[in-house]
């Protein structure tokens, strides 16, 4: 198969290790066409299917069906029955492994229908490369099978020979080593080169690209052939907004309050939510604006943490808390375990999957609400559109699973900036 693209108006991409679709959403928004999303987590697959259904309904002018589903007027099965099978079939629920490759290739080939694939995007699970993951592992993640998922990624490059690929992962990839002491990044670049690709990478911070969050990631881009200096120019976006703008139009709720079903937002006079693609129109309803319940002890700690920031711009460490509130045995590590998402700063702390376990590291800046963030607020930090819905495997809404999918995602606006720059380069290549 030769690499390249034949249709100047339609560039096809394959989404590997898709998660709930943050990376894919940015490429779709930039004008790329998804052939398939491959993901092992069932809940995330349903999120991808529901998002694919949303895009089809919007294109067909039938968005009222989507609104009925979010309002629980339709079951998920009834909702999916109103969507063409071919739309839902873009989502392939597979763990990418040596055993599943041929089945995945068969499904992707069927969807391509003999047309070339222009692009592959995706990043394998990051736990094995992350510094935090290695620090928690007795053997520093050495030998963990997730270290070698890039080899399976390479199998897709060999088979489909896209002109470009985008490989996303954590900054810890720069220092992660194999059992023989060699760097995984060097090994994967050497393998990609054997597949016919030159590669270049940069460390990008989402906060430089219109995301109100400090989130550093390695974005490695491969191009078929030996040409160097091809990394697309990705224009940075000035930091002109504060984190509080993410929350100002959402209904005020207390710990344990809110609902997962749609609630209208209040009038919004700002610009960021529209510029970033989070909101489409004023007073747009949102789902999953539901806060965790908290113990009185947690709420007392939250008040102290928020008050210290608002009055003194101080981050309280765990040992700064009154003795009667220090109930954890670990008093030497993770001392910033309680942290406010400061509304007066241009960037929030990195949203991670741990937010699915507790919200202590993501305390709402409004002391009158005194709670941790809702999934919708976390999704906004990740620049997911307000009309993005996060599914469970069972069909019953799950705040925990929504948090997990949001924390594992690539910020949509970062993805869009990368995709837009790459689209411009592909169009230039294809002239």
Distances (CA, A) of 327 to 24, 297, 298, 330, 359: 42, 10, 11, 9, 17
For 324-348, the pLDDT digits (tens) are 998 877 766 667 889 999 999 999 9
What are the CA-CA distances from residue 394 to residues 219, 360, 417 (Å)? 34, 27, 34
* Catalytic residue annotation: 126
Angstrom distances, CA of residue 201 to CA of 14, 16, 104, 213, 268:
20, 18, 28, 21, 38
The tokens for 149 are 């998922």
Token representation of residue 90: 């873009």
User: In whole angstroms, what is the distance from residue 101 CA to residue 417 CA?
Assistant: 31
Task: Report if residue 275 sits inside a domain.
Answer: no
- Give residue 84's domain range: 12-232+412-429
Answer left, alpha or beta for residue 196, where phi above 0 means left and psi between -120 and 50 means alpha: left
Strands 164-170 and 216-224: antiparallel
Tell me if 34 is assigned to some domain: yes
pLDDT, position 349: 96
Asked if residue 393 is part of any domain, the answer here is no
pLDDT of residue 333: 65
**Is 72 among the domain residues?**
yes
Residues 6+ apart with CB under 8 A from 122: 14, 15, 16, 17, 18, 23, 38, 153, 166, 167, 168
Q: Which residue has the tokens 């398939």?
A: 36
pLDDT at residue 331 in the model: 67
Contact 245, 348 (CB under 8 A): no
The string of pLDDT tens digits covering residues 351-371 is: 999 999 999 999 999 999 999
Q: Considering Cα of 152, then 130, then 422, then 227, what sign does the dihedral take?
A: negative
**Residue at 20 is within a domain:** yes
366-389: average pLDDT: 98
Residue ranges of E strands in 211-307: 216-224, 258-259, 289-290
For 164, the enclosing helix (H) or strand (E) is strand 164-170
For residue 280, being part of any structural domain is answered with no
Q: Sign of the C-alpha dihedral, residues 210, 212, 216, 220?
A: negative
Do 24 and 33 contact (CB within 8 A), yes or no? no
Give dist(CA 354, CA 393) in Å, integer. 20
| Residue 2 confidence (pLDDT) above 70 | no
215 found inside a domain: yes
Residue 423 lies inside a defined structural domain of this protein: yes
With a CB cutoff of 8 Å and minimum separation 6, the contacts of 278 are 246, 272, 380, 383, 384, 385, 386
Distance in Å from the first CA to the final CA of the chain: 21
Q: Taking all residues of the chain, what is their mean pLDDT, rounded to a whole number?
A: 93
Helical H segments across 33-75, by residue range: 42-60, 63-70
Please give the average per-residue pLDDT across 291-303, as a whole number: 96
CB-based contact 245:380 (threshold 8 Å): no
Here the CATH number for the domain that contains residue 110 is 3.40.50.150
pLDDT band (50, 70, 90) for residue 372: very high
Cβ-contact 257, 289 below 8 angstroms:
no
Instruction: Indicate the burial class of 261 (C-beta count within 10 angstroms; 0-12, 13-18, 19 or more).
Output: middle
62-113 tens-digit pLDDT: 999 999 999 999 999 999 999 999 999 999 999 999 999 999 999 999 999 9
Tokens matching residue 301? 């700690």
**Domain count for the chain:** 1
- The sign one gets for the Cα dihedral 276, 277, 278, 284 is positive
Q: Answer yes or no: are the C-beta atoms of 402 and 375 closer than 8 Å.
A: yes
Reply yes or no on whether the pLDDT at 8 is more than 60: no
Residue 103's H or E segment, with its range, is helix 101-112
């Amino acid at each position: 198969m030769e690499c390249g693209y034949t249709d100047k108006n339609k560039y096809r991409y394959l989404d590997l290790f898709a998660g709930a679709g943050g990376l894919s959403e940015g490429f779709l928004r930039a004008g790329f066409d998804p052939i398939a999303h491959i993901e092992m987590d069932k809940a995330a697959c349903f999120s991808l299917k529901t998002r694919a259904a949303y895009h089809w309904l919007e294109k067909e002018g039938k968005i009222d069906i989507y609104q009925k589903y979010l309002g629980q007027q339709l079951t998920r099965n009834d909702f999916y029955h109103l969507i063409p099978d071919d739309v839902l079939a873009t989502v392939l629920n597979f763990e990418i492994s040596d055993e599943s490759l041929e089945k995945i290739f068969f499904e992707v080939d069927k969807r391509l229908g003999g047309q070339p694939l222009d692009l592959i995007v995706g990043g394998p699970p990051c736990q094995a490369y992350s510094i935090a993951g290695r620090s928690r592992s007795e053997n520093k993640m050495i030998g963990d099978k997730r270290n070698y998922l890039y080899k399976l990624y390479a199998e897709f490059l060999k088979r489909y020979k896209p002109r470009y690929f985008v490989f996303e992962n954590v900054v810890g990839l720069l220092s992660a080593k194999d059992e023989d002491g060699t760097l995984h990044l060097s090994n994967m670049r050497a393998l990609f080169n054997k597949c016919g690709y030159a590669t270049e990478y940069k460390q990008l911070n989402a906060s430089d690209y219109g995301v109100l969050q400090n989130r550093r990631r390695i974005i490695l881009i491969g191009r078929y052939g030996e040409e160097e200096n091809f990394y697309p120019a990705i224009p940075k976006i000035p930091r002109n907004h504060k984190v509080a703008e993410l929350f100002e139009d959402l209904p005020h709720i207390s710990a344990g309050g809110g609902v997962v079903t749609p609630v209208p937002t209040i009038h919004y006079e700002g610009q960021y939510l529209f510029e970033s693609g989070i909101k489409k129109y004023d007073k747009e309803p949102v789902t999953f604006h539901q806060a965790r319940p908290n113990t009185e002890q947690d709420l007392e700690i939250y008040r102290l943490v928020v008050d210290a920031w608002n009055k003194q711009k101080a981050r309280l460490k765990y040992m700064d808390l009154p003795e009667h509130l220090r109930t954890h045995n670990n008093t030497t590590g993770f001392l910033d375990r309680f942290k406010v998402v400061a509304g007066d700063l241009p960037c929030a702390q990195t949203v991670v999957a741990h937010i699915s376990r507790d919200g202590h590291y993501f305390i709402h800046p409004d002391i009158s609400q005194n709670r941790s963030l809702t999934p919708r607020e976390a999704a906004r930090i990740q620049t997911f559109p307000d009309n993005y819905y996060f599914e469970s495997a069972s069909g019953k809404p799950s705040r925990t699973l929504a948090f997990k999918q949001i924390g594992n995602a690539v910020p949509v606006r970062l993805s869009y900036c990368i995709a837009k720059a790459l689209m411009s380069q592909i169009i230039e290549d294809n002239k």
